[in-house]
């Protein structure tokens, strides 16, 4: 009969595997703990970034993300006039020209917010055929503040301007003026 060598018994093999499993158990516990901490950290970071993003969006709509800074320190807030609607850029709301000056109109509320600070103004980007819409909005402003002088700006946005903006083909003399010199 053959005798098994003392170092190679089957119980030694199982105890070796059990010993290896026992050695891996603390490492798995550490890995699981670190994974749990990282998961909680990820949730906290996501909640914080979500709250920060909401705050930036709310502040952006309040501060006027689409405003045009003026040299005198004031700001111009952009409104686009179409032949059959007026659109407030910041909010994306469009208003029928007949409802521009009605009580509770988004344009009236927006104008009050813009003109509450001295030096601010509305800048109308007028598309082809939209002069009557702009005139209605201007008259509305005059009715809201009959004794006050209001600054109103306008830009005639013809097809050539719109094409150059869409194609990013702004003339060099305008681009050079807009870009700050070093």
Q: Are residues 123 and 158 in the same domain?
A: yes
Q: What is the DSSP letter of 119?
A: T
Q: Are residues 79 and 120 in the same domain?
A: yes
Contacts of 133 (CB under 8 A, 6+ apart): 81, 82, 83, 84, 85, 86, 97, 100, 126
| Measured distance CA(104)–CA(99) in Å, rounded | 9
**How far from 48 is each of 34, 35, 38, 51, 58, CA to CA, in Å?**
21, 20, 15, 5, 15
Q: Are residues 24 and 49 in the same domain?
A: yes
**pLDDT of amino acid 112:** 92
Q: Are residues 46 and 124 in the same domain?
A: no
Q: Are residues 172 and 91 in the same domain?
A: yes
Q: Are residues 98 and 162 in the same domain?
A: yes
- Of 22, 37, 63, which residue is a domain's last? 63
Q: Are residues 169 and 122 in the same domain?
A: yes
Mean pLDDT, the chain, integer: 77
**pLDDT of amino acid 4:** 52
Range of the domain at 9: 1-63
Q: Are residues 53 and 74 in the same domain?
A: no
Helix (H) or strand (E) holding 59, with range, is helix 10-63
Between residues 17 and 178, the one the model is more confident about:
17
Q: pLDDT by residue (tens digit) across 146-158? A: 998 888 988 888 7
Q: pLDDT by residue (tens digit) across 12-41? A: 555 666 666 667 767 777 777 787 888 888
Contact 114, 161 (CB under 8 A): no
Between residues 61 and 92, the one the model is more confident about:
92
Q: Are residues 8 and 81 in the same domain?
A: no
Query: What's the structural domain count of the chain?
Result: 2
Q: CA-based Rg of the chain, rounded to a whole angstrom? A: 34
Question: What beta strand segments (E) does 11-170 contain?
Answer: 67-69, 75-82, 85-88, 94-95, 121-126, 152-156
Q: Are residues 5 and 18 in the same domain?
A: yes
Instruction: Write phi, then psi, for 153 (nearest 5 degrees).
Output: -115, 160
Q: Are residues 152 and 82 in the same domain?
A: yes
Paired strand residues for 75: 69
**pLDDT of amino acid 69:** 78
């Amino acid at each position: 009969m053959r005798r098994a060598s003392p170092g190679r018994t089957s119980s030694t093999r199982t105890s070796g595997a059990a010993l290896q499993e026992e050695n891996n158990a603390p490492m798995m516990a550490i890995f699981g703990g670190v994974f749990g901490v990282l998961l909680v950290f990820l949730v906290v970071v996501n909640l914080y970034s979500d709250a920060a993003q909401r705050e930036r969006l709310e502040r952006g709509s309040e501060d006027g993300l689409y405003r045009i800074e003026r040299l005198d320190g004031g700001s111009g807030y952009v409104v686009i006039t179409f032949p059959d609607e007026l659109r407030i850029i910041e909010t994306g709301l469009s208003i029928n020209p007949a409802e521009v000056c009605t009580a509770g109109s988004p344009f009236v509320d927006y104008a009050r917010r813009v003109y509450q600070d001295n030096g601010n103004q509305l800048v109308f980007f007028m598309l082809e055929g939209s002069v009557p819409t702009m005139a209605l909005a201007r008259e509305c402003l005059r009715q809201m503040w009959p004794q006050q002088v209001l600054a109103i700006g306008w830009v005639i946005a013809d097809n050539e301007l719109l094409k150059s903006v869409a194609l990013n083909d702004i003339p060099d003399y305008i681009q050079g003026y807009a870009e700050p010199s070093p």
